Amino acid sequence: MPQQDLIYSRQQEHITPFEFNDTVVSVFDDMITRSVPLYQESIQRQAQLAAHYYQPDSHIYDLGCSHGNFGIQFFQQMQQQPFHMVAIDNSQPMLDKYNSRLAALPANDRVKTQLASIEDYSFLPTSVAVINLTLQFLALEARNTLLQRIYDAMLPGGILLLSEKIIHAEAELAALQQDWYYRFKKENGYSQLEISQKRDALENVLIPETIEQHQHRLQQVGFKKIDVWLKWFNFTSILCIK
């Protein structure tokens, strides 16, 4: 059982901007499964897609890997087949936990964890790049540069898997999506206080865009085959094939 996320359960005098520190890492699985609709489904299907499109000897990148939920699922999907994964995150506590999970797996040298910002990373030839709920934490200009770098390093037939929290451009629908998202959080046991303090902590840290803005950027960098394969109100997962 993951440790319960109680970070915002008590009234805080000052809400500091959200960070992926030791406290967050210790409750991360509970936080993400109670905060992201269809999280397990999305990770599992993306791991299946990644295994389907992975090209032998190429690199697979997990960008903003946290403590490895995608990587561990990918291991299971690949069974005995070899692969080279680079799992990047700029939170040392996340990577410490990832490394301890890897230590329990055979053939764990297939995954290299790397402490770095994905903003200024140089990619080797890749057939699969995954950015699950992480592009949203980058400055808008950095998002274009990152996706262009990924596209340029991608082999023909390679894929990008992108999942994001999104907003709707139309005010009524944006409000409805927000409302239904807060219902989801309440159903998962978060109080009104927890929901509003977390929202304040994420203000200017997590900057969501519309699905159209994502699609436009993906087209601009060069992708022609783009599919929104999952959408739940204000969350989406997108598959792009080069």
Q: Which residues bind ligand GEK (CB under 6 A)?
A: 20, 32, 43, 64-66, 69-70, 88-91, 94, 117-119, 132-134, 137-138
Beta carbons of 117 and 37 less than 8 angstroms apart: no
Measured from the CB atom, the residue of 134 and 197 that comes closer to ligand GEK is 134
Q: Which is nearer to ligand GEK, 27 or 241 (CB)?
A: 27
Distance from first CA to last CA of the chain, Å, rounded? 39
191: left (phi over 0), alpha (psi -120 to 50) or beta: beta
Q: Which residue is nearest to ligand GEK (CB)?
A: 64
Rounded (10°) CA dihedral 111, 116, 122, 128: 40
In terms of CB distance, is 76 or 219 closer to ligand GEK? Answer: 76
141 versus 172: smaller Cβ distance to ligand GEK: 141
Quote the least distance from Cβ 44 to ligand GEK, whole Å: 11
Sheet holding 235-241, edge to edge: 111-115, 84-89, 59-63, 126-132, 154-165, 235-241, 225-232
Q: How far is the CB of 199 from ligand GEK (least distance, A)?
A: 13
| Cβ proximity to ligand GEK, 131 vs 218, nearer residue | 131
CB of 11 to ligand GEK, least distance (A): 23
Distances (CA, A) of 198 to 9, 192, 220: 10, 10, 33
* Least gap, CB of 28 to ligand GEK (angstroms): 7
Cβ proximity of 235 and 226 under 8 Å: no
Residue 214, token pair as written in the block: 């994502």
Nearer to ligand GEK, 49 or 94 (CB): 94
Minimum gap (Å) between residue 143 Cβ and ligand GEK:
11
Torsions phi, psi of 109, nearest 5? Answer: -75, 0
Q: How far is the CB of 156 from ligand GEK (least distance, A)?
A: 26
The first and second tokens of residue 120, run together, are: 């200024």
